[in-house]
Structure 1
Amino acid sequence: MYTKEDIAKLDRISKLKIVNSVTGIKPANLIGTINDKGRTNLAIFSSVVHLGSDPALLGFVARPRTAEVGHTYRNIFESGIYTINHVHPEFIKNAHYTSVKFDIGISEFEQCKLTEEYIANFKAPFVEESSFKIGMRFIEAIDIKHNGTALIIGEIEHLILPDDAMIDGGIDLEITKAVGISGLNSYYTLKKIENHPYARLNEIPEFE
């Protein structure tokens, strides 16, 4: 067992690895952005969450802005749009190294050998290697004052995914080969183990 005090005494990297693992496996996504000078940025995030379906809202947590980090946040503020791209097993290593603190003038697409892809009337770059990608319009940012991060909220404008991943009105993430993250550097594949109907009060089964 670890107390709050025990966790506080850990070195920075150990603390990051442990606290980033306690919620379980999280989705691995690459967020693509572009600034007003046309410079692209790509960064891996494990904090993308569903916030609502109507309108279709997603959120993610952006780190505190400094000279070295926070390029994703700044680019979203400048352009108002961004992309979320699922990571697949074939390019986990490339995706992982987008977390390096590259200079603002260096594109992670180029450094990590991933390909920019664009669609009509949408300026932000998608990741060509990803088969599951989402075009987002920035809605608002909510500052989390306790640690200087921010919850970035956007609305889905474009949803691009394989046709065969749509099953019974939903998405089968095993078919899309979605990848998950635990901690800072452990990656997992997903396997669907059960499927249940939408839960209704008058259809609760008998549990053993």
Structure 2
Amino acid sequence: MLINHEDIESMPHLYRVAFINSLSGFKSANLVGTADKKGLTNLSIVSSCTHIGAHPPLVAMIIRPHSVERHTLENILATSFYTLNQVHAGIYRPSHQTSARYPKEVSEFAAVGLTEAWRQDFAAPYVKESKISLGMALREHHHLSINGTELLIGEIMQVQLPSECLSQDGFVDIEKAETVALSGLDSYHRSQRLARLSYAKPDAPLSEIE
């Protein structure tokens, strides 16, 4: 089956959205915790977080066009701080519910039954129920003219995770935290590791890391 550009352009809108969003494979599922300058909190699920670099530790995130109210984006631009909270198998249903369009005066934390957690005077709320959470500081913001989306690049300032998920070599075992993956916009998946493999070299065979 071959689907060309003309076929994609002729797809009904919602069909095309589901189709294109499914093509990039499994994506991370994170809850973005923010607060405005008055302390009103907001929580939204995103599947567009991407590792940018380790030194400095950077993570990029795409937010849809600011053509309507985007409380997450507005709060981050106002305060420069936010949290990324990995979704795990125990909270994927209320996490998905945060994608509903609640009015600004309604905190998604309360609306979906998740708990605000404030740590070390950090200026954005964490999700208490999340097992792996990052405290982020905004470093760059770019408007992408190609489709009107907003690119945010943040630096990791804090990390909260279970000690049993951290290996001696620095590897974070997100599977132990039951972190789930997203495909498309609404399909949640558990993971099953095949193997950790050694650093690839042209003159050495691969080996598995225990």
Match in the other structure for 1:175: 176
Matches within 5 A, 1:4-153: 4-67=5-68, 69-153=69-153
TM-score under structure 1 length normalisation: 0.94
2: distance between equivalents of 1:34 and 1:86?
18
4+ residue stretches of structure 1 with deviation over 4 A?
none
1:154 alignment partner in structure 2: 154
Secondary structure of the residue that 1:7 maps to in structure 2? Answer: helix
Q: Number of matched residues?
A: 205
Q: CA deviation at 1:6?
A: 1.2
| Stretch of structure 1 that moved more, 6-15 or 117-126 | 6-15
Q: Distance in 1 between matches of 2:74 and 2:85?
A: 19
Give the drift of 1:30.
Answer: 0.4
**How far apart in 2 are the matches of 1:198 and 1:139?**
31
- Which letter maps to 2:51? H
1:154-184 CA distance string (max 9 Å, x none): 0000011111111242011211111100111
Q: Which runs of 5+ in 2 are unaligned?
A: none
Percent identity for Structure 1 against Structure 2: 36
The aligned residue for residue 163 of structure 1 is 163
- Find the aligned partners of 2:70 and 2:136 in 1 and give their Cα distance: 18
CA deviations on 1:71-121 (whole Å, 9 max, x unpaired) are: 111100111100000001111110001111111111111111111001012
Other-structure match for 1:196: 197
Q: CA RMSD in A?
A: 1.4
Q: Is the 8 A contact 1:42 1:72 kept in 2?
A: yes
Are the aligned partners of 2:198 and 2:206 in contact in 1 as well (CA < 8 Å)? no
Cα separation, 2, equivalents of 1:15 and 1:93: 24
Q: Choose between structure 1 and 2: higher strand proportion.
A: 1
Conserved in 2, the CA contact under 8 Å of 1:139 and 1:154? yes
Q: 1:88 to 1:205 in 2, by over 3 A?
A: closer
Bigger Cα displacement from structure 2, 161-170 vs 91-100: 161-170
CA contact (8 A) 1:173 1:190 kept: no
Aligned amino acid, residue 38 of structure 2: K
Question: How much has 1:204 moved relative to structure 2?
Answer: 4.6
Contact 2:66 2:150 in 1 (8 A): no
**CA–CA separation in structure 2 for the residues paired with 1:187 and 1:89:** 9
Question: Which sections of structure 1, spanning at least 5 residues, go unmatched?
Answer: none
CA positional deviation for 1:2: 1.4
Q: CA deviation at 1:201?
A: 4.0
